[in-house]
Amino acid sequence: MSRRIIIFAAVLTAVLLGVFQVSTQFGSSEPAELSEARQLEWQDLVPPAEPLKDALADTPMNVRFDLGFIGKVLADADAHVISRDGPEFRNAMSLLEKHRADGIDVDKLLASVTGRDEELVARGEAVNSELDGELVRLPGYALPLEMTEGGVKEFLLVPFVGACIHVPPPPPNQVVLAQLESAYQVEALFDPVLITGHLRAQSTSSELYLVDGEAQVPMGYSMEVMHVEPMEGE
């Protein structure tokens, strides 16, 4: 499911200037009926899995460096970012042939790295289905989405400041779409908050429109938020 969410420049400016203040609709005291909520940390959202092996563990550092360069150049060439007739591509091919001549199975190593990268992507998309429907509590940073004069009714909860704006989005299973019944007023982008509600392990994505462009943000979870409170000293 794809959802188009627009953040207007004026709203962003207002948020950044601190026009919105902390709402009294969400006090620091959590309702008694939520006291049984399970406390989660971000690693709990990642399904258990065996540690990934380093495909280049026994490879000399200089070869590892060259393989990284070769792999990037090949990917850029496949994406038509660079020309196969250009100096960068020729340099990469020269390094590849050099290592082949030294008896290094470059193609096998590159395939191993590609396989590991694909596994990392797959693990980042996997959700912990055991948490689906659970009443949970999770700390994080709020990136407002749907803004009104009364506050925000939707935001992305992310594990670190700057996610999705200044740096690429975290893996989908490290992004939670928080949906509120009542508006919550914020002080700034990435306010530290603690949210409580029923977690849904359901992949969605949003086209996030910002002042300087747009980005597709995949999300592995959503939450029907029942309580929000600001976190001090984060």
DSSP track, 50-83: PPPP-TTTTS-HHHHHHHHHHHHHHHHHHTTSS-
Instruction: Classify residue 42 by its DSSP letter.
Output: G
Q: Read off the CATH number of the domain in which 151 is found.
A: 2.40.50.870
Last residue of a domain, one of 79, 94, 125: 125
55 within domain boundaries: no
- Rounded to two decimals, the pTM is 0.73
Last residue of a domain, one of 84, 108, 125: 125
pLDDT averaged over every residue in the chain: 82
194 within domain boundaries: yes
Q: What is the 3-state secondary structure (H, E, C) of 118-140?
A: HHHHHHHHCCCHHHCCCEEEEEE
Same structural domain, 144 and 166:
yes
208-218: pLDDT as tens digits: 655 455 667 88
Same structural domain, 158 and 170:
yes
**Edge-first strand listing for the sheet containing 204-210:** 2-6, 204-210, 213-219
Same structural domain, 118 and 135:
no
53 within domain boundaries: no
Same structural domain, 107 and 133:
no
Band of residue 172 on the pLDDT scale cut at 50, 70, 90: very high
Same structural domain, 141 and 192:
yes
Output the pLDDT for position 198: 96
Output the pLDDT for position 216: 76
> How many structural domains does the chain have?
2
Same structural domain, 207 and 155:
yes
Range among 11-20, 52-61, 170-179 with highest mean pLDDT value? 170-179
Model confidence at 88: pLDDT above 80:
yes
54 within domain boundaries: no
Last residue of a domain, one of 125, 142, 177: 125
Which region among 32-46, 60-74, 138-152 has the lowest average model confidence (pLDDT)? 138-152
Q: CA 180, CA 220: separation in Å to the nearest integer? A: 18
Range among 17-26, 68-77, 138-147, 158-167 with highest mean pLDDT value? 68-77
Mean pLDDT (whole number) for 203-208: 75
172 within domain boundaries: yes
Place of tokens 């935001």: 155
Which residue range(s) make up the domain with 65?
A: 61-125
Same structural domain, 98 and 156:
no
